[in-house]
């Protein structure tokens, strides 16, 4: 049975709830789509930036919009914003998975559960990239597969209204699924059974896991973000599967490297997500009351 809602819908609800139930979370480079796609909804955070965009868009020369000027404005805005927020604590990578809901005894893994269960595939190229990030960045990043333990849009909406999306989500560390081609589960908590050779794997409690993560930011937020983006960019540039397209996407923005460092690295991260579907969030310390 197919899950009858879009992965993007679940992802949006999940991110909203995570930001409300845990420390401050934010996706780095939120204004990037304004630079790359001129999406007005992400430019409205800053009136000056929005006015710049509108004046340039409405000019007679709007076919020759100076993206470098927009990038500089975004660089100033994003830099100022990172200086104002609490210190960033850690990077979190989420690979969202839309599962199948197996309700028939003819399901391949039915004998493991003997009741309806959820299953999602683990794609080799994707897993190899995630494992490479995990090995090179280690404790500097938490990398998880995230999948709903819901299959009906009405139940998803109910969970969203009740602020229980996280409660109805299955979390599994990428490293725990190394060597497997799929993961199965019957509910959010307790455990999963991964296959090639069936292996029972304990699930993690997301909010507890986030509380236990040690602070990895020893400098200021701007350098912390740039260093992380560079590490991801280096890994992508060396990856046999993704590197060629990733490097081609980045080439047109090479002129931003020197005077728009933050925006340039945000663009690298944007292309990383565009090609892989992996969501990056950054966790800040709690605001002092």
- The domain limits of the chain are 7-25+92-126+142-212
Dist CA 33 CA 41 (whole Å): 9
pLDDT score at 81: 86
Average pLDDT over residues 181-204: 78
Does residue 56 surpass a pLDDT of 50?
Answer: no
User: What confidence tens digit (pLDDT) does each residue in 140-182 have?
Assistant: 889 999 999 999 999 999 999 999 999 999 999 999 898 899 9
| Mean pLDDT in residue range 84-97 | 88
Predicted confidence at residue 192, as pLDDT, reads 86
With 0-12 / 13-18 / 19 or more C-beta atoms within 10 angstroms meaning exposed / middle / buried, residue 23 is middle
Q: What is the mean pLDDT of the chain?
A: 82
Q: Is 186 a residue whose pLDDT tops 70? A: yes
> Based on the number of CB atoms within 10 Å of its own CB, is 196 exposed (0-12), middle (13-18) or buried (19 or more)?
exposed
pLDDT of residue 63: 43
Written as six digits, the tokens of 213 are 């993560």
Percent of the residues in the chain that have a pLDDT greater than 90, as a whole number: 45
244 vs 236: CA distance, rounded Å: 9
pLDDT at 189: 66
Q: Are 195 and 180 in contact (CB under 8 A)?
A: yes
Q: How many CA atoms lie within 13 A of 164 on its CB side?
A: 13
Whole-prediction pTM value? 0.81
Angle between helices 221-238 and 261-276 (to 10 degrees): 40
Reported as type and span, the H/E element at residue 35 is: helix 32-37
Section 278-286 average pLDDT? 82
Q: Which helix (H) or strand (E) holds 147?
A: strand 141-148
20-89-14-45 Cα dihedral, nearest 10 degrees: 70
Q: What are phi and psi of 30, to 5 degrees?
A: -65, -25
Confidence band (pLDDT; 50, 70, 90) for 87? confident
List the Cα angle 31/90/200 in 5-degree steps: 115
């Amino acid at each position: 049975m197919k899950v009858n809602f879009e992965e993007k819908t679940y992802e949006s609800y999940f991110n909203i709830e995570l930001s409300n139930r845990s420390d401050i979370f934010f996706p780095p480079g939120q204004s990037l789509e304004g630079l790359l796609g001129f999406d007005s909804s992400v430019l409205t955070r800053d009136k000056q930036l929005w006015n710049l965009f509108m004046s340039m868009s409405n000019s007679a020369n709007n076919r020759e919009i100076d993206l470098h000027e927009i990038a500089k404005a975004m660089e100033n805005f994003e830099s100022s914003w990172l200086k104002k927020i609490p210190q960033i604590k850690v990077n979190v990578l989420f690979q969202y998975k839309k599962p199948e809901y197996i309700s028939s005894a003819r399901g391949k893994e039915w004998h493991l559960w003997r009741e309806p269960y959820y299953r999602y595939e683990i794609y080799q190229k994707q897993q190899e990239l995630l494992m490479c990030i995990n090995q090179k960045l280690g404790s500097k990043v938490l990398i998880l597969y995230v999948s709903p333990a819901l299959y009906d849009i009405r139940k998803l909406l109910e969970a969203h209204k009740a602020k229980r999306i996280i409660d109805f989500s299955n979390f599994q560390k990428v490293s725990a699924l190394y060597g497997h081609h799929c993961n199965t589960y019957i509910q959010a908590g307790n455990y999963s059974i991964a296959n090639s050779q069936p292996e029972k794997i304990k699930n993690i409690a997301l909010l507890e896991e986030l509380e236990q993560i040690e602070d990895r930011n020893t400098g200021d937020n701007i350098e912390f973000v740039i260093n992380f983006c560079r590490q991801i960019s280096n890994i992508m540039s060396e990856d046999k599967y993704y590197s060629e397209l990733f490097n081609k996407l980045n080439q047109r923005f090479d002129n931003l490297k020197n005077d728009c460092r933050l925006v340039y690295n945000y663009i690298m991260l944007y292309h990383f997500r565009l090609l892989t579907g992996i969501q990056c969030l950054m966790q800040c310390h709690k605001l002092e009351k």
